[in-house]
Amino acid sequence: MAKTYAEQLAETEARLDAWVKAETSIASTGQSYSFSDGDTRRELTRANLKEVHAMVVYLQGRVYRLERLVAGTGAPRIMHMRGI
């Protein structure tokens, strides 16, 4: 059974929180950071900061679109970035 937009939004917000925490930790300490975003377990370093930031931007856009769908003000179209 397909998930509702509200369920997708909750999951995406949780993933976004994990990635923002990773980005903040890596940027402020310069050390490696291990976390699980629900789908995968990752160990990231400062060298991965560009990838981490790209994922944060992607997830922020997805949260925005899902919020609009939950509120009934958006078209049911979820765009996917290439390369992620």
pLDDT in tens, 44-78: 888 888 898 999 999 999 999 999 999 888 665 56
Kindly state the tokens that stand for 55. Answer: 């994922």
Q: Sort strands 33-36 and 41-44 into parallel, antiparallel or unpaired.
A: antiparallel
Domain extent for 44: 5-71
Asked if the structure places residue 13 within a domain, the reply is yes
> What DSSP state is assigned to residue 48?
G
Place of tokens 């930790």: 25
pLDDT score of 40: 72
User: What pTM was computed for the model?
Assistant: 0.74
Count up the domains in the chain and report the number.
1
Q: Would you say residue 81 lies in a domain?
A: no
pLDDT digits (tens, 9 = 90+) for 26-52: 888 877 888 777 777 878 888 888 898
